[in-house]
Amino acid sequence: MLRGIFGILTVVSLVLTAWRWTLHRRFPLHHRGATFPALPGVTFLKPLKGRDEHTAECLRTWFEQEYPGPVQILFGVASPDDPVCLIVRELMAGFPGVDAQLVVCAEVLGANNKVSTLRQLEPLIKYPLLVISDADVRAPHDFAAQAAPLCRDDVGLVICFYRLANPVTVAMRWEAVAINADFWTNVLQAASFKKIDFALGAVMTLPLVELKAVGGFAVLADYLADDYQLGHRIAANGRRIILSSIVVDCWEAPAGWSVVWRHQLRWARTIRACQPTPFFFSVINNSSVWPLVLLAICISGPAWGLILSCSALVFRVWTAQQQQGRLTQKRTQGGYWWMVPLKDVLDFVVWAAAFWGHQIEWRGERFHIGAGGKLVKL
């Protein structure tokens, strides 16, 4: 009985793995579209807090955007004493021709501090297009010029994939498999089911009118997954959300197991709060746990169980390395092949832990996640 159940789950996960691999091959990742001699003005919104060794280079890429139109950059910080202010001022001095402004956003407008900063930057926006990005994002020089032309017709939001650029610890390699191999292919899988009704928060490009149509940043003030909520509201207004083929880099400070665990658990509990039913069934997508269980119960049993489980595990590792290599445009390190099944086992633990509590830690503060992903500061 158990062998049959886990045999079916292994076959289903194998089919889903093949599906994601097929979708990843079809998507025109890293493809550049036509260039335009002129585009509408764009405002880059950069909420900031703190700095690390990568912050200066990440922010520099936004000053170096080759965009055929007016550009404004608004940097928001909660305190004038934040160490990131020195970096911003140095970059502004080094690029005097760029319309950039450092804004102290001292008011606390809601539980989400990032959104609080964006709310205070909103009245300063000059141009009809917006690019909202996290502080740790390093963008290619033509990112804005490639994303802006996509904001046309019935398109309300343009999102893009991102890759973890510097997995320098073993724990970060777990997260690198999650992001660079699986996350973007899971998004493609979701998009193959139905129209995209969420956003990916690393970088979002949208017309200002679409932001105003959903009520501005104020409606996102008490949500952790502000990107999801923004995309969900834009989609509910009948506007399309599309994926750009351009990929950006996320450069994170070196992190150990505890930091990465808290990050993954926060992410899981947020998704569970926003989309409880899809999150519950997402465990079927786990492509190593079911073959490993089948292997354990068939280790001295029928040959079909051993062949099926081993084949599924080998295929899982191979496709994950293919997907990671395509996103990062680097050859994957074969010595870390074992990280793929380990990541899946840890993902199963995170999935289960997501149902055992409603609290998260975010930027040094603790919150309770309520219905729909609303935050209550503890």
A 10 A CB-CB count for 368 gives 14
CA dihedral sign, ordered 289, 167, 32, 125: positive
Tell me how far apart the alpha carbons of residues 168 and 53 are, in angstroms, rounded to a whole number: 13
Rounded Cα distance, 93 and 371, in Å = 45
The parts of the chain modelled with pLDDT lower than 50 are none
343, 174 Cβ separation under 8 angstroms: yes
Relative orientation angle of helices 2-26 and 303-328, to the nearest 10 degrees: 20
- The distance of Cα 13 from the centroid of its chain, to the nearest Å, equals 23
The CA distance from 2 to 292, in Å, is 13
Q: What residues pair up with 249 in beta bridges, in sequence order?
A: 138, 163
Task: With beta carbons less than 8 A apart as the criterion, state whether 367 and 112 touch.
Answer: no
Distance between CA 155 and CA 159 in Å, rounded? 11
Contacts of 72 (CB under 8 A, 6+ apart): 41, 42, 43, 44, 99, 100, 101, 125, 126, 127
Q: Summarize pLDDT for 283-297 with one digit per residue, the tens.
A: 999 999 999 999 999
Q: What is the pLDDT of residue 298?
A: 83
Q: Quote the pLDDT of residue 334.
A: 66
Which pLDDT score, from 0 to 100, does residue 362 have? 67
Q: What is the pLDDT of residue 4?
A: 84
Range list of H helices, 218-274 = 226-236, 257-274
Q: How far apart are CA 146 and CA 159, in angstroms?
A: 12
> d(Cα 46, Cα 76) in Å, to the nearest integer?
6
The whole-number pLDDT of residue 69 equals 96
| Closest among 185, 175, 145, 150 to 64, alpha carbons compared | 145
Strands 99-104 and 71-77: parallel
- Cα gap 10→309, rounded to integer Å: 7
Structure tokens at 214: 């959903």
Q: In terms of DSSP H, where are the helices of 44-157?
A: 55-63, 84-94, 113-121, 143-147
Q: Tell me the whole-structure pTM to 2 decimals.
A: 0.90
Domain ranges in the chain? 2-26+272-377
